[in-house]
Chains A and B, each alone.
Chain A
Amino acid sequence: MTDTAAAGATAANLNVTGLELSNVVRRFGAVTALAGVDLTVRAGELLTILGPSGSGKTTMLKVVAGFELPDEGSVRLGVHDITVASPARRNIGMVFQNYALFPHMNVAANIAFPLEMRRMAPPMIADKVAWALQTVGLTGYDRRMPSQLSGGQQQRVALARAIVFDPGLLLLDEPFGALDRKLREQMQLEVKRLQRRLGLTTLFVTHDQEEALVLSDRIAVMNEGRLEQLGTPQDIYAHPRNRFVADFIGESNLFHGRVTAIEGGIAVVAVASDLVLRLVAMAGMRAGAEIGAVVRPERPRRLGSGEAADNAVEGELVEAVYVGESIKYRLRLSSGAELLVRWPFRAGGEMLGGGARLRVGWDARDMHAVPWS
């Protein structure tokens, strides 16, 4: 009874601990690529490392895959410490940016490769390869050479090769970069579905925030070797923790100001002599603090004359851009600051012309603060 319970507990633990990085540091000479990263990828979740180039995300990927060893810290996968394990012993399936298919082997041989390396019996290999091909929708393509496949098909093969050996972790290194937009969106959804269906713990690396928002269970935003924020896509989008995240994730309006007062949970922020903004105060916020005030472009609404709002501003329309389902307007406020707004575009609706004067407003809860320094 106790034994069974213990076994169950271990299994549960196994299930919750996917990948765990503790205080991982990697330096290249004077450059610190990873400055003490702590990160846990839960079992079965798709976690995206998002960051600009040079943020350390590629180094992190290499440390996880075993192509780089950390100078400090540890990497665990399930119950195993894989900090210094060779890539071959980590049991991680990786899809490379350019797929890295073996050009001299046909599709079946590419997919069979990790199984052969594991000394699996040939009949079982055949079964697994057939399963993997079916899973990625390439049944019947086993005799093709990689050079005879389209980009999307190559990616499916790479994916099949990465999952065929039941890896403890799936690593995706910017795998959609080489595809055209339509195919990219299709493949993103397919990968997501597959990942859900197979319950694969997945670490996905990209610099494309849109892709990250679509695919991820959680997103880890990286900059200069550090984790800036970890959270769900909604969380990160709505509540960027700092200026970098606010700026990097989606479009946003960022105003620099000083808290002048906190009144009933609402902070009053002076941005310029004639621009005062209100937002929901954060815990510990005090008057006098220098902050950034962030509002997403789809939050402001047009105000009728005399209509009031927590934040109301008036400005001149300097630019209007039609972007399909919505229109982006750029307003110049009297303070000289600019405000970007995005409103849905309805059929039959009219686009506003340049030079028009507009009043717009938004609620205090649509705006939040990020530390300035």
Chain B
Amino acid sequence: MVRPINALVSGLAFAAAAASMQAPASAQTQPAKPAQIVVNASGGAQAAALRKAFFEEYEKRFGVRVVDSSPADLGKLRAMVTTGNIEWAVTELNMEDAVRAQEMGLLEPIDAKIVDRSRFPANLQTRTHIYTRSAYSTVIGYRTDAFPEGKRPKSFADFWNVQAFPGPRSMQNSPIDNLEFALIADGVAPDKLYPIDVDRAFRKLDQIKKNVAVWWTTGAQSAQLLIDKEVVLGTAWNGRYYAAIQQGAPIAIEWNQGGIKESAFVIPKGAKDAHWGQQMLAVMSDAKLQAIYANIVTYPGLNLDATQYTDPKIAPHLPTHPDNLSKQWWQDVNWWVKNGKDVQDRWSRWVIAK
């Protein structure tokens, strides 16, 4: 049973109990090799892919065991850093949370001497505290048996067009992406999305609201809804639809107008295994290893050399494939960091309103 009050209470107790202790002495100059490090990430199928692509190599290279944990949790990161009781050497965060964490000083800088990002796109090389592990996209997916060839949704205008493309839809229970999708459906050019005209976006969302049967909460749910035919048209993260397609579900992905964004890994400020966390990021930057990872879950690494090692059959399913990339728009994470909370409250009010 998930009980947020309990979770909160025990979290606070934990934080408070540890607060009385002194933070450990400043980073060691000669980092000792620990028996193991903890890498915290989103969990699920991704954990197995991380192990196969990176952890196995890391363990072989350094003789340090890698333990994985989940989920990615900004609140927990903050509790760890403020109490000095830091379990994680590295943790995944979504970009929005990573930017917030950096603003609050919860992150160690990325050590360029260890982590080689020279083959990353230029704008990602200069991120001081945030390591861009991957890119993923929120895309349209639909049941191929509901929409015959030639009558398939190709855009968010189509997604909104319930006459031409009838059937129940699902979208994430979050304003992120959905406001942008609404604006695109309303005719805003993808390069003119930000700053978001929130009122206009909600007005457009009003039009589709009653046709959205499910506002999904978990990634697993998002794909299952199409598999179970609860909905015939939806949006979800590309890897989720890909996995369902691999299992034989009659589902297709439409990359057009997908919202691509970065997924980050960070090192908690004051982590006792910070050095070994930097080494983990170094391993994660290896083009060949990134290709192994992408072949499993279609979330590519950002080393430009990785493409040449990626299975050619997999490459068209990656959001960073040139054909796909050109159709999508990049999320402006800074806008969301600045406006996220207010827009989220407005979203909550809107979604529960009758």
Say if the two chains contact directly (CB < 8 Å).
no
